[in-house]
């Protein structure tokens, strides 16, 4: 976030335009409907009527039905106990919210305005007196304070750590005013955004039910959002119903959104069954993530009859960091040469051509598809951050270009990469025996198990396993059900020996266009027992650079710090980067409509698409679905 002196100058310029932050008390306190990361004027002024990318007159009604696969056993998404149901956060609102056409701006949602001084030592949220929970009870400052205390006490470990780092105390000033006093030692850039991005929960509900935040339960509690839980059939379906009395339906930030009467999630045992269900009309919208399905599977009757729309919609999103990741808690993966050798055996080029129909691009950076990705040799500004850490850095960070994903040839097994991987394992103390199996000095074979709950990944992992076996690695695939998968990839309070029970999994490591404190959850030492830092990365150089990143006072400083972080993370080789595509690939029954063009940072099918009742009736009459 920009230094507050800079934000004050920006605010003064905005006042001249009668929009945006309004200085009060001789510019010592800023009063605004929005806050931006680096003090730039927000896109939407205080008197805006609706977001540019929505249809403010979109009709309300109908149902959007999607699928998910696997199982769930809780509707409480704020605990690491159990697997939460899909969209189980939908009923809760944050104090402020972002938009899909702007990076780094939050607008009041539950609040009408916020007040803060230039040094961001505190913030006051002025709550909309109309705000209500879904049971009709008032949402007040006391609920905000209660929620902050609840998350600081019972929230996920990494979130507790961050919240306690940023917040000194929370005070109720009056019924509709709540004040956060913020820790002066915390990074200034996202102090306010951290607390503004917290959900608000009902104190009365928790007191009445005796519920805890850190528990598994099928009752999600009550929030203030536009949807409430209507029906839960464990491992079969979840139905969310639009609350006709939703307090915020006429707010400018909400006009043209939350248009469906119901949102239904149908659960299937695996993705193949889900695709068959879509073809049969069991649900109506599919965000296709299988390149094979996209290239060869869309020839079913509903599509050929024109009932289903198949669309590829470009977007401007940063890549989500999808990758194979190593469990660094395991001794065999602590040597980076072992990790590099295993990474060399994944042939993306062959996979993309043979398995993915050329639809994907390789990920190289943790900030892929953005200007935050490191390129070339380190700049003098980057070296100023890196050189003080030189004794803690992996080789090559200071004097070489950033690590890139290996390039392979057209054959499934790239012989050049095989030879390089073999040399690395020899150096790391894993020579091949007479039987071809690589063993360490204790005679233990080098085993690698890929844990997954998605059968669609079998065709990706099995060729990778074949290549690893050619290297002398005892590689295997373990496909388990979703419940076992979730159990094995999480921390276990009751029996830590069973925590993080895997070698390699596929996951996502998202960063964002304005990376802040959330990076510490995924890559910081404080998150090694959390559900985010699943690989168990704990590196002093990374921790130091993340501190610099979240304290950056300008976009230029943030970009430099992100480049430095990216270089180090890539050099640590705890991932084998996979792929991304710069477009949404979706299919849906032709009864939904959306704004054209769509905004760059969200598909928004659950948010600002809408239902065409006449088209739906025509499809039903034609027998497209029940």
**pLDDT (tens digit per residue) in 70-127:** 899 999 999 888 889 999 999 999 999 999 999 999 999 999 999 999 999 999 999 9
Q: Same structural domain for residues 303 and 352?
A: no
The domain of 575 spans 323-580
Tell whether 55 is covered by a domain. no
Q: Comparing 268-272, 412-416, 418-422, which segment has the lowest mean pLDDT?
A: 268-272
pLDDT at position 21 = 53
**pLDDT (tens digit per residue) in 151-166:** 999 988 777 888 888 9
Q: Same structural domain for residues 253 and 136?
A: no
Residue 205 and residue 150 in contact, taking contact as beta carbons nearer than 8 Å: no
**pLDDT (tens digit per residue) in 227-261:** 999 999 999 999 999 999 999 999 999 999 999 99
Give the torsion sign (CA, 402, 403, 405, 410). Answer: positive
Q: Same structural domain for residues 277 and 344?
A: no
- Of the three residues 164, 180, 209, the one that is the final residue of a domain is 209
Indicate if the pLDDT at residue 9 is higher than 60. Answer: no
Phi, psi of 309 (to 5 degrees): -95, 135
Q: Same structural domain for residues 360 and 470?
A: yes
Q: Same structural domain for residues 311 and 339?
A: no
In angstroms, what CA-CA distances link 292 with 53, 321, 363? Answer: 32, 21, 19
Calculate the average pLDDT of the chain.
92
Tell whether 477 is covered by a domain. yes
**pLDDT (tens digit per residue) in 589-603:** 999 999 999 999 999
Q: Same structural domain for residues 173 and 27?
A: yes
Cβ neighbours of residue 370 closer than 8 Å, sequence gap 6 or more: 318, 513
DSSP one-letter code for 74: B
H or E, element range at 586: strand 583-589
Q: Same structural domain for residues 430 and 440?
A: yes
Q: Same structural domain for residues 179 and 293?
A: no
Give 23 or 447, the one with higher predicted confidence: 447
Strand order in the sheet with 122-127: 22-24, 29-32, 111-117, 122-127, 177-182, 167-174
Q: Tokens in use for 6?
A: 């800079």
**pLDDT (tens digit per residue) in 508-557:** 999 999 998 889 989 999 878 777 899 999 999 999 999 999 999 899 99
Q: Same structural domain for residues 398 and 288?
A: no
**CA-closest candidate to residue 403, choices 528, 573, 596:** 573
Residues 337-353, mean pLDDT to the nearest whole number? 98
């Amino acid at each position: 976030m920009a230094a507050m002196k800079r934000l004050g100058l920006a605010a003064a310029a905005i006042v001249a335009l009668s929009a945006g932050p309004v200085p009060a008390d001789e510019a010592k306190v800023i009063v605004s409907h929005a806050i931006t990361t680096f003090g730039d004027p927000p896109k939407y002024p205080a008197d805006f009527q609706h977001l540019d990318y929505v249809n403010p007159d979109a009709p309300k009604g109908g149902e959007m039905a999607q699928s998910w696969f696997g199982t769930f056993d809780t509707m409480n998404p704020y605990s690491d106990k159990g697997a939460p149901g899909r969209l189980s956060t939908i009923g809760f609102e944050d104090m402020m919210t972002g938009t899909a056409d702007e990076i780094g701006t939050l607008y009041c949602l539950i609040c009408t305005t916020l007040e803060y001084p230039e040094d961001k030592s505190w913030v006051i949220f002025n709550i909309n007196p109309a705000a209500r929970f879904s049971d009709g009870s008032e949402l007040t400052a006391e609920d905000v304070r209660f929620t902050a205390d609840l998350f600081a006490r019972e929230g996920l470990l990494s979130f507790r750590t961050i919240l306690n780092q940023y917040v000194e105390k929370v005070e109720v000033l009056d019924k509709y005013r709540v004040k956060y006093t913020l820790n002066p030692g915390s990074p200034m850039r996202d102090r306010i955004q951290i607390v503004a991005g917290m959900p608000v929960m009902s104190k009365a509900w928790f007191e009445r039910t005796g519920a805890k935040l850190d528990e598994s339960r099928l009752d999600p509690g009550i929030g203030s959002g536009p949807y409430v839980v209507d029906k839960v059939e464990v491992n079969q379906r979840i139905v969310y119903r639009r609350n006709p009395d939703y307090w915020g339906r006429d707010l400018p930030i909400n006009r043209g959104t939350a248009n469906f009467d119901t949102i239904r999630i149908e659960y299937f045992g695996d993705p193949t069954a889900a695709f068959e269900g879509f073809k049969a009309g069991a649900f109506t919208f599919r965000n296709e993530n299988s390149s094979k399905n996209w290239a060869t599977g869309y020839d079913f009757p509903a599509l050929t009859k024109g009932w289903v729309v198949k669309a590829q919609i470009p977007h401007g999103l940063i890549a989500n960091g999808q990758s194979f990741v190593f469990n660094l808690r395991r001794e065999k993966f602590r040597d980076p040469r072992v990790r590099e050798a295993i990474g060399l055996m994944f042939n993306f080029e062959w996979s993309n051509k043979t398995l993915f129909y050329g639809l994907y691009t390789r990920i190289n950076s943790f900030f892929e598809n953005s200007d935050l990705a490191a390129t070339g040799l380190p700049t003098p500004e980057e070296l100023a951050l890196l050189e003080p850490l030189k004794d803690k850095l992996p080789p090559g960070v200071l004097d070489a270009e950033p690590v890139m994903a290996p390039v392979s040839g057209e054959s499934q097994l790239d012989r050049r990469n095989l030879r390089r991987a073999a040399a690395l394992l020899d150096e790391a103390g894993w020579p091949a025996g007479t039987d071809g199996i690589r063993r360490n000095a204790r005679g233990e074979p080098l085993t690698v198990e890929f844990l997954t709950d998605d059968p669609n990944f079998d065709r990706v992992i099995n060729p990778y396993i074949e290549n690893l076996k050619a290297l002398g690695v005892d590689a295997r695939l373990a496909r388990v059900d979703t419940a076992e998968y979730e159990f094995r990839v999480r921390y276990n309070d009751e029996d830590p020996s069973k925590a993080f029970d895997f070698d390699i999994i596929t996951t996502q490591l998202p960063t964002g266009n304005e990376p802040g404190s959330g990076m510490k959850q995924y890559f910081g030492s404080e998150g090694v027992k959390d559900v985010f830092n699943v690989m168990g990365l704990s590196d002093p150089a990374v921790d130091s650079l993340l501190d610099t990143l979240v304290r950056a006072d300008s976009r230029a400083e943030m970009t430099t710090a992100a480049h430095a972080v990216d270089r180090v993370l890539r050099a640590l080789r705890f991932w084998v980067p996979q792929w991304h595509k710069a477009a949404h690939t979706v299919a849906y029954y032709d009864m939904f409509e959306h704004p054209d063009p769509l905004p760059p940072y969200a598909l928004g099918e659950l948010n600002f698409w809408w239902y065409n009742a006449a088209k739906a009736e025509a499809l039903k009459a034609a027998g497209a679905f029940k």
